[in-house]
């Protein structure tokens, strides 16, 4: 599969700022969104970062162990009834 290469020269401003041309931003980056930048083999890779629109809860190791234990217990019950 052949990819079309689209290029444009942009000016690097003081403090490393530059504008990503609109034709590159559209469909990739949300206004006021986040981007991940990494250096790889002498190139900068810029990727959009998607965030969840709601908070995500973190679980403690103890809570995770409880979930796994409960899952194991319920699995045994369902297997004993022939449902799994």
Q: What is the pLDDT of residues 22-47, one digit of tens each?
A: 999 998 998 888 999 999 999 999 99
77 is a domain residue: no
84 is a domain residue: no
81 is a domain residue: no
21 is a domain residue: yes
**pLDDT at 74 > cutoff 70:** yes
64 is a domain residue: no
Domain count, the chain: 1
**Percentage of the residues of the chain whose pLDDT score is greater than 70:** 98
34/48 Cα distance (integer angstroms): 6
Give 17's pLDDT tier (boundaries 50, 70, 90).
Answer: very high
What values do phi and psi take at 10, rounded to 5?
-125, 155
45 is a domain residue: yes
At which residue do the structure tokens 């206004």 appear?
31
Q: Is 63 helix (H, G, I), strand (E, B) or coil?
A: helix
Give 2's pLDDT tier (boundaries 50, 70, 90).
Answer: low
45/35 Cα distance (integer angstroms): 10
Residue 40 forms beta bridges with which residues? 43
31 is a domain residue: yes
């Amino acid at each position: 599969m052949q990819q079309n290469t689209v290029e444009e020269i942009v000016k690097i401003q003081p403090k490393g700022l530059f504008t990503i041309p609109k034709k590159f931003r559209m469909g990739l980056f949300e206004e006021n969104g986040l981007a991940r930048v990494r250096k790889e083999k002498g190139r900068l890779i810029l990727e959009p970062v998607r965030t969840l629109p709601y908070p995500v809860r973190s679980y403690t190791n103890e809570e995770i162990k409880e979930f796994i234990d409960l899952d194991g217990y319920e699995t045994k019950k369902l297997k004993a009834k022939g449902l799994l």
